Structure 1
Amino acid sequence: MKQNSYDDPGFFTKYSQMPRSTGGLDAAGEWSVFRAMLPELKDKKVLDLGCGYGWHSRYVREHDASYVVGVDLSEKMLERARSMTRDEKIKYQRSAIEDIDYAEGEFDLVISSLALHYVGDFESICRKVYHCLASGGTFVYSVEHPVYTALPEQDWVYSEMGEKLHWPVDRYHEEGPRNARFLDHDVVKYHRSIATQVNALITSGFRIREMSELKPEDYQIEQDPEWKDASRRPIFLLIAADK
């Protein structure tokens, strides 16, 4: 199932108002960890899957990547990315992530930020990414954490007074689509366990280099009290794997 909620005018309007949409990478809580997982970027050929506004594509070019291909299914997202980009070495292509088909060894780095939990066949993506990476290349991606995606409600259990009691985890090993609400719209997210993701990468030929479940630092909680919730249950899973 190839989703394109972002071309819905109402959905896109709400997404455009999110802090990470207006503030860029520095407003994305997982960015510091994602950035630390990236290899040396100088002269790297980069593929950005689910590029959105192109924040990551522009970042790697600003740090001397040789060129970038940003892929997204949403024309509205690509329009915004193109309007924010003044760099002939960044090319944006409209395509579903599931449909990528690049030459063997075409890229040195493949990145994907919070997009792959919208893709049903994760193993296929891993094989395609491995194929298009050069020897020694790296795949760095972030997704919503499986603890977060296990139940479609993606919400706390509350007391009668509205206090957050605990985060429920159920149906963890029942992998597959979840009909969730995001920005007041129905979207389909795909729940898969950590083991399923790691094994798909290994089976495709990757060597896992680093993983993070993003425990917030004290300074982050001080700057934004909502990050305190992330110390009670993980929101993001980030993995770096090498070919």
Structure 2
Amino acid sequence: MSEGEIKHNDYDEFACVYARRNETNPFNALYERPAILDLAGEVRGLRVLDAGCGAGVHAAELVDRGATVTGVDLSRNLLDLARERLGPRVPLHRSDLSQPLPFLDGAFDLVLSSLVLHYLADWEPTLREFHRVLAPRGRVVLSTHHPFMDMRIIDSDDYLGTFSFTEEWVQDGRTMRMRFWHRPLRAMLAAFTASGFAVDDIAEPDPRPEMAEVAPDAYRHLSRNAQFLFFSLTALTHDHPLIGTSRWLL
């Protein structure tokens, strides 16, 4: 980073406060987390890669449900918090998801990636790595920014574009500068099929009923506005006729 350049997405600096809020924030605890775990389904006995594991909240739930979990994240400090939460039972690796993953081919049955891909300019290298480390017919479940949410944040009418934008989060009186990538649904689907996946499900979940009691404003918002978009994908074999085409399955 050059002198004077603003640093973005520095989770190391805000790891503790971010992890604390992520664990209890109703948008995470009562919306995103249960939705992606529902999409994962039965995980007992599965080898699961938590790609972008953060402080390990999803990983802990997966372990409790009987999965054998491995976590990766770019933030050292979030990985330290994950280690405190998970103990020695879960291997944790520092890895940049835009780069090759440090795992053998076919090492996992399921990749779970929670609210990570919207940080990446190009999805295909990451998705191809997910495909590589999955066993045949392995699955990916992921959540990402809903493109309509992006448009609300930046007050844009360019739904069909693919572009970066920034947002400022205030954490305990300090500003956390975040950079995200907006892409339309058609660009997401094209990246999935080009990377060897069939789309099994696309979800825009309703908020959990219990949110109405503990966070009524968030409940009203999520009852009318999709905050995140969820996908379930299946890895096709390399000789499948749909590999690399623009078609997708649902």
Match of 1:95 in 2: 95
1:120 corresponds to 2:121: yes
TM-score (normalizing by structure 2): 0.80
Conserved 8 A contact 2:8-2:177: no
Conserved 8 A contact 2:9-2:178: no
| CA displacement 1:37-66 (0-9 Å, x = unmatched) | 11421221111111011112122222222x
- Percent sequence identity is 30
Return the match for 1:198 from 189, 194, 199. 189
1:54 corresponds to 2:56: yes
1:6 corresponds to 2:11: yes
1:235 corresponds to 2:227: yes
Structure 2: 5+ residue stretches without partners = 2-6, 236-250
Match of 2:73 in 1: 72
| CA displacement 1:126-154 (0-9 Å, x = unmatched) | 11111111112110011111111236xx1
Name the SS of the counterpart of 2:98 in structure 1. Answer: helix
Structure 1: 5+ residue stretches without partners = 156-167
Structure 1 vs Structure 2 CA RMSD: 2.5
1: CA distance, partners of 2:8 / 2:111: 21
Change (3 A) 1:26 1:13: closer
2: CA distance, partners of 1:169 / 1:220: 29
2: CA distance, partners of 1:135 / 1:231: 37
Match of 1:163 in 2: none
2: CA distance, partners of 1:83 / 1:210: 34
**Greater mean alpha carbon deviation, residues 211-220 or residues 94-103:** 211-220
Return the match for 1:171 from 158, 166, 170. 158
TM-score (normalizing by structure 1): 0.83
1: CA distance, partners of 2:156 / 2:225: 10
Q: Which amino acid aligns with 2:79?
A: L
Change (3 A) 1:12 1:42: closer
Conserved 8 A contact 2:51-2:111: yes
Change (3 A) 1:16 1:39: closer
Name the SS of the counterpart of 1:84 in structure 2. Answer: helix
Equivalenced residue count is 224
| CA displacement 1:212-235 (0-9 Å, x = unmatched) | 122335553344212211223210
2: CA distance, partners of 1:139 / 1:63: 17
